Structure 1
């Protein structure tokens, strides 16, 4: 047990480190002054409090709630609604505000789940590592491939299928034109467009259809894009065996069961 929590007069500060999926790391503390721990500044945010934390050595899927007021410039309502904080990793710990780089006591860690905005504040569920025990152990069968294009199961090399370019024109709220693309028709359909600069920096948009330099997104990005925004576009896959075989030559790594009979096999009759 850390020594700084033993004296009658303690110098305890609750701290938490939040790292978004785009790599931005932020620190907050309940202390009345900012603290610097491990070269990261932990800003005083007394409005942010975790719910009761219970530590155990069992395998229950532990969760807790983190709530706070939208008082920090680093956490805005627009970013919460855009999903920038979805899936962020969080570590909550106690530290000695008199010796910030000294001993620390880890209380909880995990990923942010559902984030909701309530008035002038927000609340988020923190899912601990044991929450993974609720995940399915065996995948369900499907006629379509369950792997993501380019992941360790698909094994398609994405080095030549990803391109960094710029937004040349904004045609509609969900339609943009880029400066350069691959020559193959509709090659970016079911792919992704990652925003690297501009208001949407760090976010991703799914591409529904591509026609030359024109990209139709599955839904409008959270913030209005502008011409000149730097983006990364990656080719997509419609998850069909024919596409996997003919376009990628990767049928050996296809993660689906296209020839497995479905439930309609039980209702078939001669002559149907």
Structure 2
């Protein structure tokens, strides 16, 4: 049987798109997935640890318009995609063994090729567990701990791109919000080639004529075009005062604003 063993990969993006790849010289098909031999995807030797150690490997391949495109990689559409890897008997695909399941980690691109880190199911065990005691809030705005509804009037706005310069965008049609209202918030692209992408807002300025200048911390992988529609979501700087005055949500504040500062903790104590 070892003479008929091949590897087959299934990669599923968060938007539901599933692609199949194989290192065999002919196409394979099982589980409703067609595994193509001409998609330019290969993998390094898989490293799998015993117990709770983290599996790790890499997948490498060539950019292809029919499979994994440069635009999709730049847009982050393959980030955290689900990955399954089988050893399969190409003469009888029903005879197969699942040897890896996880997701794509960091994706790097170089010229016409890419390299993606594979992270196993035990990878989240490396993350710190428990709460962090800090004066600022530990929740993300609008999540299950914060419980704030961002669809409430006044906490979002839509506009159109009138000028784009990397991480800076000029928007029209955004009115009724103070300068800085969207700092620390998000910009979501609603239409155009960059639809579905989002960025974190670094700076937000209100300009005359119902215009808004927004600067993102990092430029989007696909640049919005003039006329594309975007939505801005209000930002939170995690301070208790902001939670109380801007969002009227202080009962759900997840920080500890009355903790002594670090200089108080390390200051020498004077005997009295």
Coarse TM-score class (shorter-chain normalised) = 0.7 to 0.9
Q: CA deviation at 1:81?
A: 4.4
Q: CA deviation at 1:151?
A: 0.5
CA distance in 2, matches of 1:191, 1:67: 34
Q: Does 1:76 align with 2:76?
A: no
Q: CA deviation at 1:176?
A: 2.6
- Counterpart residue number, 1:31: 24
Contact 2:39/2:67 (CA < 8 Å) preserved in 1?
Answer: no
How does 1:68-217 map onto structure 2 within 5 Å? 68-71=61-64, 73-97=66-90, 102=94, 104-118=96-110, 120-160=112-152, 165=158, 167-170=160-163, 172-181=165-174, 183-185=176-178, 186-210=180-204, 211=206, 213-214=211-212, 215-217=214-216
CA distance in 2, matches of 1:188, 1:267: 38
* Structure 1: stretches of 5+ with no match in the other structure: 1-6
Q: CA RMSD in A?
A: 3.0
Q: CA deviation at 1:60?
A: 1.0
**1:189-215 alpha-carbon deviations (Å, 9 max, x no partner):** 211112233232332111223326413
| Residue correspondences, number | 262
SS at match of 1:66: strand
SS at match of 1:31: coil
CA distance in 1, matches of 2:60, 2:48: 19
**1:222-271 alpha-carbon deviations (Å, 9 max, x no partner):** 3332123233432221111011112222212212122211220123788x
Contact 1:55/1:107 (CA < 8 Å) preserved in 2?
Answer: no
CA distance in 2, matches of 1:181, 1:248: 20
CA distance in 2, matches of 1:228, 1:95: 49
Stretch deviating more after TM superposition (79-88 or 218-227):
79-88
Stretch deviating more after TM superposition (240-249 or 163-172):
163-172
CA distance in 2, matches of 1:77, 1:8: 36
CA distance in 2, matches of 1:35, 1:167: 46
CA distance in 1, matches of 2:49, 2:222: 42
CA distance in 2, matches of 1:14, 1:59: 25
CA distance in 1, matches of 2:227, 2:96: 45
Q: CA deviation at 1:173?
A: 3.1
CA distance in 2, matches of 1:170, 1:92: 44
SS at match of 1:114: strand
CA distance in 2, matches of 1:140, 1:224: 36
CA distance in 2, matches of 1:126, 1:27: 16
- Counterpart residue number, 2:256: 257
TM-score (norm 2): 0.80
Q: Does 1:267 align with 2:259?
A: no
Q: Does 1:20 align with 2:13?
A: yes
CA distance in 1, matches of 2:35, 2:65: 12
Q: Does 1:235 align with 2:228?
A: no
CA distance in 1, matches of 2:65, 2:129: 40
Q: CA deviation at 1:169?
A: 0.8
* Structure 2: stretches of 5+ with no match in the other structure: none
